[in-house]
Amino acid sequence: MRKHKSAEQIVRQYGGDILRSGGMQQEKTFMQHGRVSVYGHSLMVAVLCVKIARALAIRVNTRSLVRGALLHDYFLYDWHVPDKSHRLHAFYHAGRAAHNAQRDFGLNDIERNMIRSHMFPLGRVLPRYRESLILCAADKLRAAGETAAGLRDRLGGGLAGLFCRGKDKKKGRGNKP
């Protein structure tokens, strides 16, 4: 893996066509965790995958690592909207993402396994490649961070509001709307 390029440059080099595609642009309208869209989540997971591979000096197929990571949540619906077609989202979206990605971009064995196993230990597909294990870790780290940030926003807003009202009262601005 070339070290003079940033992880994001590597992702754009190998996944630029995916990022510009209609399907990925559509992902900008679907929220994933907290206030992060599926597009933003997938991009950051791919960047983190490259960083992990570099930091641990793991030999990988960089192109597949990037493309599998970008497409791992390519299920193309809003999972927050209740709908019969995507019940048990946590268990079935990996298969749906792999199906859509195969149709729109074509997948090699590494990329297919990365996508189908990324929810491991949920689901029945085991990670069989180093790239799949890296994606499993990166996805869970990003998901935890994004969910925590979303909660912090919600709780922090309430606490900050209380704190500011207290400060404003001291300055005589407590009754301003």
Residues that bind Fe ion (CB under 5 A): 73, 139
Percentages of the chain per state (helix, strand, coil), in multiples of 5? 65, 5, 30
DSSP 28: T
How far apart CA 1 and CA 22 sit, in angstroms, is 28
Residue 65 Cα to chain centre, angstroms: 14
Residue nearer to Fe ion on the CB measure, 70 or 165: 70
**Which of residues 73 and 131 has its CB atom nearest to Fe ion in the complex?**
73
Which residue lies nearer to Fe ion by CB, 27 or 139?
139
Q: How far is the CB of 154 from Fe ion (least distance, A)?
A: 21
Does residue 100 contact residue 106 with C-beta atoms inside 8 Å?
no
45 vs 53 by CB, closer to Fe ion: 45
CB of 108 to Fe ion, least distance (A): 20
The nearest distance, CB 115 to Fe ion, in angstroms, is: 9
Helices 7-20 and 62-70 sit at what angle, rounded to 10 degrees? Answer: 50
Question: Is the Cβ of residue 103 or residue 159 nearer to Fe ion in the bound state?
Answer: 103
| Amino acid sitting at position 76 | L
Residue 82, preceding bond cis, omega within 30 degrees?
A: no
Q: Please, what is the minimum distance in Å from the beta carbon of residue 142 to Fe ion?
A: 7
Q: How far apart are CA 115 and CA 1, in angstroms?
A: 21
Give 63 or 140: the residue with its C-beta nearer to Fe ion: 140
Nearest distance from C-beta of residue 152 to Fe ion, angstroms: 20
Q: What is the C-alpha to C-alpha distance for residues 41 and 50, in angstroms, rounded to an integer?
A: 14
Query: Cβ of residue 75: shortest distance to Fe ion, in angstroms?
Result: 8
